[in-house]
Copies of this chain bind each other. A is one copy, B any other.
Amino acid sequence: MAKSQEGFVWSSKDGFRYAAVVASTPKSELSASYDVIVIGAGFAGLTVARDLGFKGKKVLLIEARDRIGGRCWTVDTGETAKLEMGGTWVHWIQPHVFSELQRCDLDEFVETVAFPENCESVKKASRQDPAVVHDPAEGQAMMEQLEGLMAKFFDIDGQGGRSVIPFPFNMASSTNHNPEYLELDKLSIADRVAQMPDCDEEQRAVLGAQAASFYGIAPEKGAFTEVLHTQALCNFDPAMTEIATMKYKIAEGTTAFALAILNDFKGDRIFSSPVQSISQPSDHAPVAVTLKNGEQFTSNSVVSTIPVNVLSSITFNPPLSPLKKEAFSDAVTPARIDKLLVCTPTKFANGFTVSCEGGDMPFASGFLDGTHGSHNLLTLLTHPDNKFDSAEDNIRLVETLHPSGVEVHSVYGHIWSDDPYAGGVMPVRKPGFLGKYHDEIRKPHGNVHFCGSDFADGWRGFISGAFEDAYRVTREVETSLSIK
């Protein structure tokens, strides 16, 4: 394969240029105590801090990273396009994120089409096997079969699932109307696949993999209702599901969005300050938040927007309830979809998708995802079972993902599953979660309130869910402060 000597290969030692690093409040200006300490400067934390600030509360925002945005951030490469290292996709049927975007005048979108018509489809079975172009007719037949299977997979009520989750933004309301929702939540994705009549083993395998692929987990580890819930949010319309979850990116980038929200927050903020422990001697005493560097701040209320995947790394005193601890560890599976953004000068007539079926490949799948300056942008998602690392031989595999080679100009990545402040992507709920843990995880722990997209009812795992839950917890904290 011919290869230019130009360009560079990403190395994990390099940092990126981005706007997400902002200054902390100078130490001399910090207070020892606040009305509220908000831990985490992702979208949920920024929004709670902003809204409680609006309501006259004295707020301190504490962030472990050197930047805002949490599981969303945008790299500015100096080219026209912005590269999203984490959460990316928005749509106007995601109500809160769209509403906040219009509020910030950031509702210009970049459109991409992951699977255009006549798109070239490539498979690569292992590191050694060459990439093989898939027969388009066979691919088309397979897609149609899969669509039919998925429709049956969701059709647990003869109405495509519509009767089970009529109102996907409110668990309590949904389960009150439909006790069968809780029954259904006991099924894993694999359990539901096993229920399907008229399927052979290969079809079952394909269906299970497809249904679970969105979360990057094994089909045994996710509740069937997680998948059904996303369908409900998208009006039980598969075309809408694709458009709502992988078509529109924010033109200015998620970092510009986070900055706009931060701009409305006038309280204190400190960055690069991981929290060690959260202690409250009693319900009526202030809560003490101790940082890893030993510094301590106190407040009447604390809002933790620490992701569920890594919440166990914080010491709580008194300790969390056993049920909460269990919910934050055994009851969920972190989605492990690391994302690699490859800028390539290679041209592909009608787009290009690649899938790597199991084996020893770090990548699971990929698709062309618009352009980046004069280059094409190839988004690769990693294989959940094969831990990805940024070793050069892993990166070099990108060059072998097409029979005629993929020329790599540059590669951008953030290994979320290794990130101590993320621990992967969203926590996927295991079967039985709703009945046992849902209410418990949202309950405050004394004066500590739990918040974030992981806790949302609606677009959980999406930016919109971060806002939804921020609104809930803002109310919770306001009520609790007014009672004191």
Contact = CB atoms under 8 A, between A and B. Distances in A.
A77 interface: no
Interface string A89-126: 00011111011101101011101000000000000000
A98 B170 CA distance: 12
A357 interface: no
Interface stretch (A30-38, A331-339, A362-370, A467-475): A467-475
A74 to B, nearest CB: 20
A355 to B, nearest CB: 29
A200 B167 CA distance: 42
Given A93-B93, A99-B96, A237-B237, A167 B109 contact: yes
Interface of A: 54-55, 92-96, 98-100, 102-103, 105, 107-109, 111, 166-170, 173, 235, 237, 240, 264, 458, 467-468, 471-472, 474-475
Given A102-B471, A108-B173, 11 more contacts: A54-B55, A92-B169, A92-B458, A93-B95, A93-B235, A95-B95, A95-B99, A95-B102, A98-B99, A105-B472, A105-B475
A47 to B, nearest CB: 10
A369 to B, nearest CB: 18
Nearest to A233: B92
A94 B94 CA distance: 10
A449 to B, nearest CB: 15
A297 to B, nearest CB: 25
Closest 4 CB pairs of A and B: A54-B54, A99-B99, A95-B95, A103-B471
A358 to B, nearest CB: 36
A127 to B, nearest CB: 41
A102 B235 contact: no
A102 B167 contact: no
Contact of A170 (B107, B264, B458, B475): B107
Contacts of A100: 99
A58 to B, nearest CB: 15
A106 to B, nearest CB: 11
B102 A468 contact: yes
A102 B55 contact: no
B92 A92 contact: no
Contacts of A471: 99, 102-103
A196 B264 CA distance: 52
Contact of A169 (B107, B235, B240): B107
A471 B92 CA distance: 16
Contacts of A240: 235
12 contacts: A54-B55, A93-B95, A94-B95, A96-B99, A98-B99, A98-B169, A99-B99, A102-B472, A107-B170, A109-B167, A235-B235, A237-B237
A204 to B, nearest CB: 32
Contact of A467 (B99, B170, B173, B474): B99
A471 B98 CA distance: 12
A261 to B, nearest CB: 13
A102 B169 contact: yes
Nearest to A108: B173
A168 B467 CA distance: 23
B105 A55 contact: no
Contacts of A475: 103, 105
A336 to B, nearest CB: 30
A474 B475 CA distance: 23
A256 to B, nearest CB: 15
A52 to B, nearest CB: 11
Contacts of A109: 167
A99 B459 CA distance: 12
